[in-house]
Amino acid sequence: MAGSLVIVESPAKVKTIKKYLGSGYEVTASNGHVRDLPKSTMGIDVEHNFEPKYITIRGKGELLAKLKKDVKKADKIYLATDPDREGEAISWHLSKALKLNDTDKKVYRISFNEITKNAIKDAIKHPRQLDMNLVDAQQARRVLDRMVGYSISPLLWAKVKRGLSAGRVQSVALRMICDREAQIDAFIPEEYWSLEAELLTAYSKKGVNAKFYGTDTKLAINNKEEMNTILEAIKDAKYIVSEINEGERVKKAPIPFTTSTLQQESSKKLNYSTQKTMRLAQQLYEGVDIEGKGAIALITYLRTDSTRIAAEADTAAREFIGKTYGEEYISKNTVTKNAKSNVQDAHEAIRPTDVTLTPAMVKESLPRELFRLYQLIWKRFVASRMENAKYKTTSVKLAAGDYIFTMSGSKIVFDGFMNVYTDDEEKVSSDAVIGKLKVGDELKLVKLIDVQHFTQPPAHYTEASLVKALEEQGIGRPSTYAPTITTIMARHYVVKEQKNLYVTELGQIVNSMMVNYFGSIVDKDFTANLEQLLDSVGDGKVNWKTVVSNFYPDLESAVNQASKELENVKIADEVTDVICENCGRNMVIKYGPHGKFLACPGFPDCKNTKPYFEKIGVACPKCGGDVVIKKTKKGRIYYGCSNAPECDFMSWNKPFALPCPKCGSYMVEKGNKLLCMNEECGYSENKPK
């Protein structure tokens, strides 16, 4: 039997690590956590300095018994769980559950950022003790999250419906989505116009477009009248080149991926959800069977907010670039510092473990989804070690009477990193024609193109933009982004339609309750400050129980206050005049995962249910029927006619009872304004209180 026992988290790593360590080592897996707080109670002894009451996770008894037998047979125990707070805590829980401190065995903690032969051998050579600062940082998070969840969720169950939950980070994420929806709902479009001239030069049969600029200063065109004034002024104008400026533009090489930027790019380029990205990245990190090479870990650890790269990996990448693309492609820049102060620099950025293992070499061995993610990570890393791309730019001013039109073009002089990694949004306008123009050239007008536009509301959050916003505001950490988004979608607080995240009726109810009664919990600044405190626990600067003991009294006070105020709020089933066709009872309004629905009060004898359409007291502008609140299949609210499908009226904004006083069209509520839906009219007024 092996003299040394190595315990890892995931069974997927066992095969890869065993291959590197050889017969003197037994490698086994804990399958994640083995102890946790109980599900039935809060599990925190508030009276005795907030001591957590850990129990063995249900179903882990057999596994622990096997691990205990393995421990008895070994003389050295290496705890090799993941290299982060969570991994450190799992190692600590294992040492407690297996009573490793009570044995005469030598117990070590080892960690590695990548599952490669060198990294694992090096970790075995340099074992360490458990880092209790990291363990305490994880305990603090777990205890705070449990306090919030177990204190607030019962109020949601009592007043809204069972099965709902509140969370320290998820409630802030929900609030951010609700706030964005409110901004979009309140947005009033403003009119503006654009003007372009399609022109012909003496150098090409193909036309070029010049944009209206103004006079010496940029001029906005706000309405049709202003446009007509300009068109009248330039109707007989000649288009003469008055100024040409040439320059250079540099597009900087990207930095390597962090967890957040990987999730964002993976969403944009591959259309993967944050959860899917993390699941696939986990497989690439743990090891994949590659033909002719066996199980190989393809990328470094996937939970990181550092952009640092190890010196050996940097050297290997530069050598590879020189041989593959040429010396001129190797970046001269060596600075890889993290710009932000709150970065946890324990890990490297996410990169391939072996840069010479190109995507083409592993394509046949990987399923398509894994291949596409590996290719994205590989290309981004190689690009980060390459030179910037360089462009030659040309900008041209054209005099048209008293006004100026402008044109610009650019062409790549040196593609640099773009040889490997390009941004789809990078559109290069060719300066083949523009580059030939000279000052004094006259261009022939083909036509003027004047177009009316309206300003657009802020964009809905997508998973990628929400992750970016959470990271920018210091809410959550790399390991929490994906679970947070997954949770609020699983609870039906938020739905995803064509990448966009929309809040449901249920989400609005939960958010308004959290904002009204637990303002500090859903306050972005408070949550970000708490995250920094938790980081300080990990750095050994703050005691974890100090953070918890300072947090708890305010939470307890808010819960007690909310309980008192909500005592008088009785959410009884509202009886309607809709008769159940199965048993003749009056149906009642209930809450489901997607909001309100009609149900027979005779349940379980009668299980009849129907959709509930709530009237808003407004007549349909198309047919005069009732406008009712409806929901898409996924639960997003809109307003439609009760006579559907015969009448197809629908509006995302709530229609107003009175017509527009200017043109007679219907109006909708937009924040604190009423807006006419006839674009040509554009009438708006303040909403009556």
Question: For residue range 72-86, what is the model confidence (pLDDT) as tens digits?
Answer: 999 999 999 999 999
pLDDT digits (tens, 9 = 90+) for 122-131: 999 999 999 9
Residues 198 and 449: beta-carbon distance below 8 Å: yes
Q: In sequence order, which residues have a C-beta less than 8 Å from that of residue 467 and are 6 or more positions away?
A: 260, 263, 264, 267, 274, 481, 485
The mean per-residue pLDDT over the stretch 319-336 comes to 88
Q: Is the pLDDT of residue 339 over 50?
A: no
| Span of 350-354, 396-400, 617-621 with lowest mean pLDDT | 617-621
Asked if domains 4-130 and 260-384 share a fold, the reply is no
CATH class of the 4-130 domain in this structure? alpha beta
Architecture of domain 260-384: Orthogonal Bundle (1.10)
Q: Domain coordinates of the chain in residue numbers? A: 4-130, 141-186+460-567, 191-252+389-454, 260-384, 573-612
**Which is higher by pLDDT, 329 or 333?**
329
Residues 284 and 297: beta-carbon distance below 8 Å: yes
User: Is 329 annotated in the active site?
Assistant: no
% pLDDT > 70, the chain:
94
Architecture of domain 191-252+389-454: Distorted Sandwich (2.70)
Half-sphere exposure of 626 (CA within 13 A, CB side): 9
CA separation for the pair 574, 572 (Å, rounded): 6
CATH class of the 141-186+460-567 domain in this structure? mainly alpha
Residues 409 and 391: beta-carbon distance below 8 Å: no
Task: Output the pLDDT for position 57.
Answer: 95
From the list 54, 108, 285, 301, the catalytic residue is 301
Centre a 10 Å sphere on the Cβ of residue 626 and count the other Cβ atoms it contains: 16
Q: Dump strand ranges (E) for 319-472.
A: 389-400, 403-414, 442-454
CA separation for the pair 224, 239 (Å, rounded): 23
| Entry pTM | 0.85
**Phi, psi torsion values for 206, nearest 5 degrees:** -85, 135
Residues 640 and 649: beta-carbon distance below 8 Å: yes
**For the chain, what is the mean pLDDT?**
90
| Span of 112-116, 278-282, 392-396, 434-438 with lowest mean pLDDT | 434-438
In eight-state DSSP terms, residue 369 is: H
Q: In sequence order, which residues have a C-beta less than 8 Å from that of residue 279 and are 6 or more positions away?
A: none
